[in-house]
Structure 1
């Protein structure tokens, strides 16, 4: 039986951070974490001698409580952010349509995601990496990078399912240093991609905490 493609659940009752009134949703587009930042901080990096940073702080306890009232179905200006209460230090961003381009920025958490449609291009100081459909991408904390759809998908970036992806943000403090140092930007591992897809689906659905925690440990 063929693998079921990853789809998000728009009616999920999990915590959404995309509705009007949510602190992260109301931030300017240039200040919001473009990949996954419900629990972390994203900093814009300007190349050259003069570097400026703009931070988008993660939610305080009161802000996290406010995100409980965010409802699905609200018009979104960026990736849908979900913060599962039973996975502390972890958030999920689901982008059905990749933004045309994301400026160079850094995260203070590990970003681990899967491209679910199209191709994504990631530029770092180590060079350029192209992530195809079904492949995993990994960005360690503190690595400056820029993201955009690959050329053949850039023209249709506003179309349905064009260069779609989901990404988990995982606090670095919960991970062994050796894991962070060994991760390449592109991971062609079908088993890992399927595990992350199952975890993303579990985060968006009503299921037991043990199942979500087991899938995270498996990844």
Structure 2
């Protein structure tokens, strides 16, 4: 029955061009734990990740989108949250009221692709890797020894409020990355992207730019 409903939603999105949230929301909670990698795909809405707290997950979503919601835990300490059938926003989900709140003691990897806005707070870690793509926007706050960012598409990564010692940043497409690296910084930018450092580190000899890309020390 659920497969039939999802198929009807896909057909509806194809015929009418977009799938809009109903405005009537429901909230679900999930009891997954023991994960430190988070994969967020094909969502539209707001996401908050709160680091330094016990594992907890809640999702608020429009009732007409509920059957599309997938929250799964994999075998490699990873949590996946996505909308089924909405790869690359093929269902044109718009005007949704999706809100995802995830808390966990520590996070090692965040993968964020879609049209959603993500804010990560409370980071206090040795290593953090972020993959940001499509039209997703990600904000990071806290401290970390090492930071790796791969940004591609039209979205931005705001890590100027994440104080790091060393950073390795790649950005390609139309998106920008702001970073705050104090000691070492390797950056590679291409297309129309910009990488801006708000910290004391200079771009090292392995850094490069191509096309209209820019490397800037703010």
Higher relative helix content: 1
TM class, shorter-chain normalised? under 0.3
Choose between structure 1 and 2 for higher RCO, CA contacts under 8 A separated by at least 6 residues. Answer: 1
**TM-score for the superposition, normalised by structure 1:** 0.27
